[in-house]
Amino acid sequence: MVHRFLDKAAVLEEEEISNEVKHNPWRLATVTKVEEMKLVLNIIPIWLTSLPFGLCVVQTATFFVKQGATLNRKIGHNFEIPPASIFSLSAVGMIISVVIYDKILVPFLRRATGNERGISVLKRIGSGLIFSVVAMSVAALVERKRQKIAEEDIDVLDGEKNVELPMSVFWLAPQFLILGLGDGFTLVGLQEFFYDQVPDSMRSLGMAFFLSVLGAGNFLSSFLITAVDRITEKDGKGWIGKDLNSSRLDKFYWLLAAINSVNIFVYVLFARRYTYKTVQRRLTATTLNKDDIGMELMP
């Protein structure tokens, strides 16, 4: 078992056994504290491999919305969709994903695998990671199409940055929906995983791990954008510029797809070696048959 070296923190030395003085808590820990520390350390690799997914989720509220601002958002003659409202498609995808998973996939998988949850939590998280690769690939293809339209209409734009392109904003719907579907697997799975696998006395820490995936994703996104912009900058123009029409945002999306593809393999390595926390569930009389009740009541 990993982290066996931590067991030494709960072992008494020979001179401490012979003395009946109070032990220093900085030199001697209880077995419970040692086991709790092991649980926290075990979930850190899963947390680290979930950060690239958070990096993709951040794009729905940043570059995806910025793309939408350059497209035709009109419905009918008088109504125009606000760019930020396109983000709601991601929530729609997540709702669809959760409903399909809970109402269709779980009952089927429960009969097939015998697992109460259909599949393990780590497999659910891993399934969502695949959606992130697909979403970034679709986003790259759509962005390349948007750029080609911008290049064709360069005479119409005449250097103006706020002119809408003759391309419907609903071209962005697939990437929002696909990433929303991934949210229903990965984000919901991460919330369940961190809440269950931390020590019972550290539930709030589990929620902090879950929320930090999105928070750290924002920081990583800012760092990656800055690094990519400086590395790719040529003649004052890089992959990411103030004007999307003269940028190569599609290459940035392909980079995110590549990062998440590599991350999936790393995640699988850690997930296969992960040992779930042992939970002793108390059985109630409603879930026991008569023989079980008799055995349960025996001293």
CA gyration radius, the chain: 26
How many angstroms separate the CA atoms of 44 and 49, rounded? 9
Q: Is 79 helix (H, G, I), strand (E, B) or coil?
A: strand
Residue 74: its H or E element: strand 74-75
Report the relative pairing of strands 74-75 and 79-80 from DSSP bridges.
antiparallel
| pLDDT digit string, tens, across residues 115-158 | 777 788 899 899 999 999 999 999 999 999 998 888 877 654 55
Nearest to 133 by CA among 271, 237, 260: 260
Report, as an integer, the average pLDDT of 195-202.
82
Compute the mean pLDDT over every residue in the chain, rounded to the nearest whole number: 79
CATH code linked to domain 52-281: 1.20.1250.20
Tell me, rounded to whole angstroms, the distance of Cα 297 from its chain centroid: 45
Task: State the pLDDT at residue 77.
Answer: 76
Task: State the pLDDT at residue 23.
Answer: 60
Report the percent of the chain where pLDDT is more than 90. 23
Q: How confident is the model at residue 71 (pLDDT cuts 50, 70, 90)?
A: confident
Report the percent of the chain where pLDDT is more than 70. 76
